[in-house]
Amino acid sequence: MRIGVLGLQGAVREHVRSLERLGVDTLVVKRVEELPEISALVLPGGESTAISLIGGEPFLERLRDLAKGGFPFFGTCAGMILLASEIEGRSEAYVGAIDITVARNASGRQVHSFETLLEVEGIGGDVPAVFIRAPYITRLGQGVSALAKYNGHVVIARQGNVLVSSFHPELTDDLRIHEYFLNIVKKRNQEDMK
């Protein structure tokens, strides 16, 4: 199993470090040709518009195709925006891998960044969460599970093989959310082997 981390901008090194601490082989993905080499893809935070432009349309098209096939994705902050099926104030989605609507920068500007502890379903209590200009999930589609809320807003959700969070688990030393995602990938790999 090899996990890719989209290496166009954002907290790439931090995600790689978290995954490697869990003993996982990783690949920083910068080209569409590298996608067949991975079992799953992490889309880090950063600026969603910049990430989508750097990757270009062929990259986005390939990600959309992978999403339709149930490929595992994990998006944090801007990565969540890229994976959402609907973005407030934008006419179309980028990848559309999870049936949610997101509001960009819903937690405020950079100066309003904060850290807190969350109770995350399937993961546990006291999960540290770092929010930086975080988007919030404003709508959950059918089949999407809310795993945690903060001040009434859904901040981590899952649909099938896709996991998204408003916050940055890679900026903490807690590996439970990455481990949760790895279990999704392992389950998918086992199903593919049957």
Q: 14, 15, 170, 178: which one is catalytic? A: 170
- Bridge-based pairing of strands 136-140 and 124-131 is unpaired
Task: Give the pairing type, strands 98-103 and 84-87.
Answer: parallel
Q: How far apart are CA 138 and CA 17, in angstroms?
A: 31
77 is catalytic: yes
Q: Is 20 a catalytic residue?
A: no
Residue 140 near residue 162 (C-beta atoms within 8 A)? no
Catalytic residue among 86, 168, 179, 191: 168
- Told to judge if 191 belongs to the known catalytic residues of this protein, a careful annotator would answer no
Give the active site residue among 14, 77, 88, 121.
Answer: 77
Task: Judge whether 166 and 178 are in contact, CB under 8 Å.
Answer: no
Residues with catalytic function: 77, 168, 170
